[in-house]
Amino acid sequence: MLAYRHAFHAGNHADVLKHTVLAAVLHHMNLKDKGWRYIDTHAGAGGYSLQGDYAKKRAEFEQGIAVLMDKTDLPAPLAELVRLVREFNGNKGLIQYPGSPAIARALMRPQDQLRLYELHPTDHKILDSYMAEVPGVEVKQGDGYASLKSQLPPTTKRGVVLIDPPYEIKTDYLRVLGALREALERFPDCVVIIWLPQLQLVEAAQLPQRLKAAADAGAKKGWLNARLTVAQADARGFGMLGSSVFIANPPHTLHDELQPVMPYLAQALAQFDGARSALERSAKA
């Protein structure tokens, strides 16, 4: 359960999609002065060296964020992600990649709050040393799924939850669905962002439809699902083909913002000729 280290995958196609969506959501939240609370159930280490052994072992960032860094025709949400990555590196090249907590920290204001949960002791220690002293931030070593009981609803009635488990154990699929239901039951206006891997597993194939049904039942503003397929399975049928980001109660501007992003990513990050994207939304979104 604690073997997973996101450093192996930092900056890959899935991070690009996930963090583009996260940044767009938080920018929308910043359009109002009232503060928001961001809850990250699987926060990781906060940032990752792309020069270390973990990242270099697979070098997934080379087919992810590295592809975008010098492009001049990026849609606005991707240009903003590149700006945030450059800022995280002190504008000195691509040496590190910011995790979700770092993206949120870059966009938070004095009135906003971050609540960051991580179980892995090493990643928690790194995250704590990086973020714990930041005003408005709480870093906790604990079960992020269980955190929703104490964190929702926030007093400002404005909140964003990111649920991004490794899905290394099959119970994560059920726990993600349960967490969405609980978040919406406690706070029907909450923006819930869920990252999903595209794998050739029954659980992975079924989860998007189950999330849609849960959001149809509990989310006031419907749902949006952004899907990116960039690779094909190996000869044994293994490997991550791509990923999706599912958003319950998406900002009303998000669909239009992502429309140019998804086909751009499918073309730019393609690892085979069949790379493609899809952008779905419910009637209420």
Q: Which residues are catalytic?
A: 164
Query: What's the sign of the alpha-carbon dihedral 21, 25, 30, 31?
Result: positive
Quote the radius of gyration of the chain (alpha carbons, Å). 17
Task: State which H helix or E strand residue 126 sits in.
Answer: helix 121-131
The residue written with tokens 């503003």 in the block is 221
Distances, alpha carbon 146 to alpha carbons 2, 162, 169, 260, in Å: 17, 13, 17, 36
List all residues 6 or more positions away from 201 whose beta carbon is below 8 Å from its beta carbon.
170
Give dist(CA 131, CA 171) in Å, integer: 29
Q: Pick from 195, 205, 173, 254: which is nearest to 13 by CA?
A: 195
Give dist(CA 23, CA 206) in Å, integer: 27
Distances, alpha carbon 56 to alpha carbons 9, 47, 53, 96, 137, in Å: 10, 15, 5, 12, 30
Instruction: Find out whether 117 and 37 touch, Cβ atoms under 8 Å.
Output: no
Give dist(CA 19, CA 16) in Å, integer: 5
- If 0-12 CB within 10 Å is exposed, 13-18 middle and 19+ buried, where does residue 141 land? middle
